Amino acid sequence: MASEHSEETNADNSALALKILVAGGFGVGKTTLVGAVSEIRPLRTEELLSELGQHVDDTGAVERKTTTTVAMDFGRITIRSDLSLYLFGTPGQDRFWFLWDELSQGALGAVVLADTRRLEDSFPAVDYFEHRHIPFVVAVNCFTNARTYGALEVSRALDLDRGTPVVLCDARDRDSGKEVLIRLVEYAGRMHTARLLDSVG
């Protein structure tokens, strides 16, 4: 019995939990992605859009959107028995960006969700993570009424650093979202290893 308990404790101690940010412009699908992949009931801090916010919240391509995240979304997904990801969805509007610095503390990396109908909305998130050297992947949320672009076209349009992954996804689909997260973990792992080697070289 003691041996079994010891093995369970060692297994618990070897389990890794990583913090991931899900960022992007207003209405791009961050809350949807976190909700789709989370194995727990996601924590959401959404409020109804109001007339007061009409002049700052551009709903041009997302007319049916009625709520907005005002603090963060939170969810968790187990990638494998020894690896869990804690997901923090950031608010998309400029006026809530003061929260990004807090949320990004200790993050392994980020997913920048993009909508090709409003690709320019992705620039602030891309700039944020590039300037802070936080590894990220761009995940193009393939809306049904949006024109389809290839990964290379999106990479060029966003002027991404060479090697930054661009993947196509459906934020509503759990498997699709999980593939995006796995791609991020792999990429961030390579980036952190390379930086570690550079620091001791």
Per residue in 141-178, pLDDT (tens digit) is: 998 888 889 999 999 999 999 999 999 999 999 999 99
Q: Identify each DSSP E strand in the chain by its residue range.
A: 16-24, 46-48, 67-69, 73-80, 83-89, 109-114, 136-141, 166-169
Give strand pairing partners of 85.
Answer: 18, 77
The vertex-13 CA angle with 7 and 19, nearest 5°, equals 145
Lowest-confidence segment of 20-34, 55-69, 137-151 by average pLDDT = 55-69
Instruction: Tell me the CA distances in angstroms from 36 to 21, 29, 118, 129, 182, one per residue in order.
Output: 15, 10, 22, 24, 15
Structure pTM? 0.81
Please tell me which of 11-25, 33-47, 138-152, 159-173 the model is most confident about, judged by mean pLDDT.
Answer: 159-173
CA 31 to chain centre: 10
Please give the residue that has the higher pLDDT: either 127 or 50.
127
Predicted local distance difference test score (pLDDT) of residue 52: 46
pLDDT at 13: 61
